Each structure stands twice: as C-alpha cells, then as structure tokens.
C-alpha cells in the first residue's frame, strides 16, 4: 500500500507547481463584461480619485456591494499599476488561499490525508477553479465564509478534545471563535449581510437537527460582537454619513428586493442549480453524491459533542436551498458549498477503497471524449464567418483541455488499479486544474468580440485628456478600464446605473437633443454608440467622422 501522505519536499514542489498553474494566466486573458469590467473599473476609479468611501462606476455612485474587494484591487493598482493581472489578483489569491485553508482544516478535523485530499479536490473542481480566475466578488466572500465556519469547527473541536481541557484549551477555542467573528465581518465587507446571515442560519438549523443548543453558549458573544463591529461598522458609518441614500439602496433593495423579487432579470427556475452543481463539481461529481449519501448516516458522534461532519452537510444543503429559492440566481452563488463539500469528500476518501473510487471516476471518461468529438464541427456553433473563425480557434483550446483531462482520468484509473489512491487523486486533480486553465486561457480567441480592448487601442490615439467622450445608448463595461478614464452617458440604458444617476443627474445627458447641444459647444469630442444610433444622430444634425466601426458599435469624432 502507498503512503497516505507526501514527503515535505514533494509537498513544496507540488505547491509551487500548482501555484504556477493557478496564477499563470491571470494577465493573459482580456477583461470581459460585465462583472470583470465593472469590478476592475470601480477599483480603478477609487485608486484614481482617492475616495475610498463612496464606490463609483463610471463616476456614478454604485452601492450594490461593500468595498473590501475594491480596496484590495485599488491597493494592487497603487502598488503594481493597472493591469489585467492586478484586476484579478484578489480573486486568484482568495481562491488559492481557500484551497490551502481547506487543506489545513481537513488535517485538523479529519487527519493529514483527509486534508490533502480535500485541498486537491477543491483546487480541481471546475466551478471553483473557473470562478477563482474571473473578477467577481463571489470568491472573496467564499473564502471568508469558509474561514468563519472552519474557525467555528476548530473552536468546538478544542472544547471537545479531551487533551484541551483547562485554560490552554479554553484559550485556543476562544481564539478560534474570535477569528470566526472577524472572518464573518470580512465576509460582510465582501458581499453584504450574507456574511453573518448564512452561517448563523446554518448553525441554527444544525442545532435543530442535532437537538443540541450548547454551541451557542460557546460563541464568546461579547468580544466576538465587538470584533465584528470594529471590522465592519466603520465603513458603513462613513458611507452613510457621506451618502444618506445608501441605507435604502444597500440594505433594502440590494438584499431584500433582490432576494424576494425578479426585478433584476436574474430569475431562474428552482432546478437552475442542478446542472451547475453537477458540472461544477467535475471530475468529482459522483464522489460528491457518494459522500453526501453516506456522511449523515455514518457521522454519529458523542452525545452533546459538536459534530463537524453534520454541520458541513447542513451548511452545504442550506446554501443550495437558500439560493434556489431566491429570485436572483447566478452560477457563482453556489461557491460557498464547495469548500465544505471538499472537506467531506476528503474525509470520505480516507475511508474509501481504490476499487470504489475507480468506479466513481470511470464514468467521467465520455465527457472529454464528447468535447473532442465536437471540435471538428465547431463552425456549426457560429453564424458569421468572423465568429466561425473565433469559435474554431477556441475549439482547439478546448480540444487541448479535453485531452489533458482525459489523460488525467486514464492515468488515475491505472493508478487505482495498482492501489495507489493518493497518486491517482493527485494526477487527476492536476489534469483537471490544467484543463480548466487551458479552457479559460483559450477564451481570448472569443474575447476580442466581447471585450473592448481592440476598440480602446483604436481610439486611444485620438483621445486627449480633457476631451469629452460620450457613450450613447450603451455602456461598455470594459472600455473605461482599458482607456483608464470614464465616459459621459447619453440616453442611458443600463438599469444598474439608474440609482446613481437619480442622485447626481448632472453627470449624464438624458437624450439625443442634449447631446446635439453639447456636441456643438465642444471644440473636440468623441462618441461611441450602437450602430443603430448613427442615423439618429445624423437626424439631430451632428457632424461626425467615423474613427472605428465593428459589427456592434461605431466610434465617431467631431470633425
């Protein structure tokens, strides 16, 4: 039988290799709309303006989310400059830190082998890897939520551990609980009230199922709440002092209205997350089902002792149900489930035979084969010659990713036949991680249609520092980032900016006649618009010279 752990030297070599794969493409890929452009630009404007209290998007107040990730990204801009990699650095770092955290927690809770397995599983599951390289807020909040629940579990373990009785054990439990409170405050500063609400509700449900409420007596409420408020309250106080309208927008609309209504056009049916979970957990989907089905049944512990396995199950199930009933759904909302599931699966792998794991991995072989079979027919997925070329180029990247994934699966199955479980999981995890990164890197072949970096390169020679640049009937989320300046909106169609525009209407032009008047008054000006707007502006009498044009938009200057 193989050793269930790695040597220290092998561990550090493996960690360096994974880090190289993990961070290797965060500069390579272009920023794409909408989330990546939005969050990259808010941080850029914060760093440029020096206002670290009031977030702005295109110089318009933007109160959808708290500022922790904006602060982190703006700091990276200040230190290293405004780049694609600095825009994604916080997401990639918190994603990587989440893998390390799960490995540490698994080791402390379930043993060294379980921790190593858990880290490998999390760091190779497809949804987690992809979202750790896309600039959204979900990975940051997932890390801090995981830190919070892991700290809670370790605090309860210190209490229950027979060797931790006395002052030393109580001190360790207290420190872990203090860290849990701080982590939940940082989760709130990452994405709002879900930071404290989700863990609190999950703990309540756990106590209902276990019929054990003693954990609430060990929460260190006094110092814990003080730490929570010290971390989270100052910014909320400052932003509400500077912006009295913040409370209604952030706490009422962005939390209650978004959750209970379909107003944001993100409504999906209750079963929306089923395929996302199935494909997002690949290549470990069947292992996940096997783990969940067995974990509750086989997790009976001492009466009155905190049961980490059952809490992780309750947490995972609650996150899934909570967002399934929400009126607003996006794939990344499931991310907080993944670290908990990885911990459970890591524990299950230590108890599982190589034969059983073989039959949980083998059924994934057809998936990369289907991708490879579709590559020669990729041109059928596009309607225009330009898109056919882009899709064909991207298909080559997907084919390479599928080959890498297939090689990892086959190698893992061969190693399992030789009863080398740890090596099999390692090889498949590396193959899956590499495949995900290849697929993500290849997206640049399509990004030139979605991202505005080519447009920015074409316009930049004509753009002077104080020259007005009007965005008519559209707002390209990536253009301000690449131009490193804001635009003046005309006839705004972006619903997410309406609130900020209502607060400061003078920052935009409401209609085309207003633009015609401003255009005539300026000695020089540029404007970008959807192609359908060009004849409308001609009717308004605007003298225009076309500088750049693609299938979707036109950029003009004043002659």
Question: Is the pLDDT assigned to residue 461 strictly greater than 50?
Answer: yes
Percent of the chain with pLDDT over 90: 78
Q: Report DSSP state, residue 54.
A: S
pLDDT bucket at 212, cuts 50 / 70 / 90 = confident
Say which residue the tokens 């997206």 belong to.
Answer: 443
What's the mean pLDDT in 407-434? 97
Task: Look at 64-68, 242-246, 296-300, 503-507 and tell me which has the smallest mean pLDDT.
Answer: 296-300
196 or 262, higher pLDDT: 196
Q: What is the mean pLDDT of residues 186-198?
A: 95
User: Which of 113-122, 348-357, 456-465, 490-499 is the least confident region?
Assistant: 490-499
pLDDT above 80 for 12: yes
**What's the rounded Cα separation, in Å, for the pair 364 and 20?**
26
What average pLDDT does the segment 154-182 reach? 79
Q: Per-residue pLDDT for 270 more than 60?
A: yes
> 515 pLDDT exceeds 90?
yes
**DSSP for 448-499, written as a single string:** HHHS-HHHHHHHGGG--TT--EEEES---TTHHHHHTS--EEES---GGGHH
| pLDDT for position 261 | 58
| pLDDT at 375 > cutoff 60 | yes
- Mean pLDDT for 104-118 is 96
Tell me the longest C-alpha to C-alpha distance in the chain. 83
For the segment 302-328, the average pLDDT, to the nearest whole number, is: 87
Give pLDDT tens digits for 30-57: 999 889 999 999 999 999 999 999 999 9
Overall average pLDDT of the 483-502 stretch: 92
pLDDT in tens, 531-540: 999 999 999 9
Tokens coding 422: 């740890």
Residue 326 is classified by DSSP as S
Residue 525 pLDDT > 50: yes
| Each residue's pLDDT tens digit, 260-269 | 656 555 567 8
CA distance 134 to 279: 17
What per-residue confidence (pLDDT) applies to 164?
Answer: 45
Q: In terms of residues, how long is the chain? A: 559
Mean pLDDT of the chain: 91
Q: Among the listed ranges 18-27, 243-252, 310-319, 331-340, which one has the minimum average pLDDT value?
A: 243-252
Give 288 or 158, the one with higher predicted confidence: 288
pLDDT for res 366: 97
Residue 188 pLDDT exceeds 70: yes
Q: Is the pLDDT score of 462 beyond 80?
A: yes
Cα–Cα distance, 181 to 226 (Å, whole number): 9
Residue with tokens 């039959």: 359
Of residues 169 and 77, more confidence is placed in 77
Residue 436: HSE in the Cβ half-sphere, 13 Å Cα cutoff: 29
Predicted pLDDT at 247: 87
Q: Is the pTM of this model over 0.85?
A: yes
Confidence of residue 305 (pLDDT cuts 50, 70, 90): confident
């Amino acid at each position: 039988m193989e050793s269930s752990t790695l040597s220290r030297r092998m561990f550090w070599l493996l960690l360096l290799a994974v880090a190289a794969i993990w961070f290797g493409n965060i500069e390579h890929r272009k920023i794409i709309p909408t989330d990546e452009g939005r969050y990259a630009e808010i941080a850029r404007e914060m760093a440029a303006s020096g206002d670290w209290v009031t977030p702005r998007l295109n110089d318009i107040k933007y109160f959808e989310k708290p500022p922790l990730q904006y602060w982190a990204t703006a700091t990276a801009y200040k230190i290293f400059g405004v780049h694609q990699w600095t825009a994604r650095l916080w997401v990639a770092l918190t994603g990587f830190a989440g893998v390390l955290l799960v490995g540490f927690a698994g080791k402390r809770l379930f043993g060294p082998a379980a921790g190593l397995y858990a880290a490998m599983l999390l760091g190779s599951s497809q949804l987690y890897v992809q979202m750790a390289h896309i600039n959204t807020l979900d990975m940051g909040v997932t890390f801090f939520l995981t830190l919070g629940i892991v700290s809670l579990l370790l605090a309860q373990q210190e209490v229950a551990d027979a060797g931790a009785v006395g002052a030393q054990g109580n001190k360790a439990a207290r420190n872990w609980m203090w860290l849990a409170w701080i982590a939940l405050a940082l989760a709130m500063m990452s994405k709002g009230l879900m930071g404290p609400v989700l863990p609190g509700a999950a703990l309540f449900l756990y106590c209902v199922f276990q019929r054990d409420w003693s954990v609430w007596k060990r929460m260190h409420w006094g110092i814990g709440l003080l730490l929570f408020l010290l971390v989270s309250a100052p910014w909320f106080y400052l932003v509400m002092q500077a912006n009295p309208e913040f409370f209604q927008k952030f706490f009422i609309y962005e939390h209650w209205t978004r959750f209970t209504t379909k107003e944001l056009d993100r409504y999906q049916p209750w079963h929306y997350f089923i395929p996302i979970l199935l494909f997002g957990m690949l290549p470990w989907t069947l292992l996940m089902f096997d783990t969940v089905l067995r974990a509750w049944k086989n997790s009976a512990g001492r009466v009155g002792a905190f049961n980490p396995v059952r809490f992780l199950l309750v947490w995972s199930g609650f996150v899934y149900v909570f967002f399934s009933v929400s009126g607003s759904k996006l794939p990344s909302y499931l991310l907080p489930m993944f670290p908990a599931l990885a911990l459970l699966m890591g524990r299950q792998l230590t108890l599982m035979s190589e034969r059983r794991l073989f039959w949980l991995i083998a059924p994934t072989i057809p998936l990369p084969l289907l991708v490879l079979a579709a590559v020669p027919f990729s041109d059928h997925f596009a309607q225009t010659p330009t898109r056919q070329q882009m899709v064909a180029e991207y298909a080559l990247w997907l084919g390479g990713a599928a080959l890498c994934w297939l090689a990892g699966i086959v190698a893992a199955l061969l190693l399992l036949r030789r009863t080398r479980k740890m090596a099999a999981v390692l090889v498949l995890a590396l193959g899956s991680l590499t495949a995900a990164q290849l697929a993500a890197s290849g997206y640049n072949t399509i990004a030139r249609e979605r991202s505005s970096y080519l447009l920015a390169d074409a316009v930049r020679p004509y753009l002077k520092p104080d020259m007005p640049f009007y965005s008519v009937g559209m707002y390209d989320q990536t253009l301000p980032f690449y131009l490193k300046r804001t635009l003046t909106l005309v006839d705004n169609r972006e619903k997410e900016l309406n609130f900020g525009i209502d607060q400061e209407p003078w920052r935009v032009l409401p209609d085309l006649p207003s633009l015609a008047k401003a255009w005539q008054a300026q000695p020089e000006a540029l404007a970008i618009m959807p192609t359908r707007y060009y004849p409308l502006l001609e009717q308004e009498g605007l003298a225009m010279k076309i500088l750049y044009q693609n299938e979707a938009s036109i950029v003009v200057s004043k002659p």
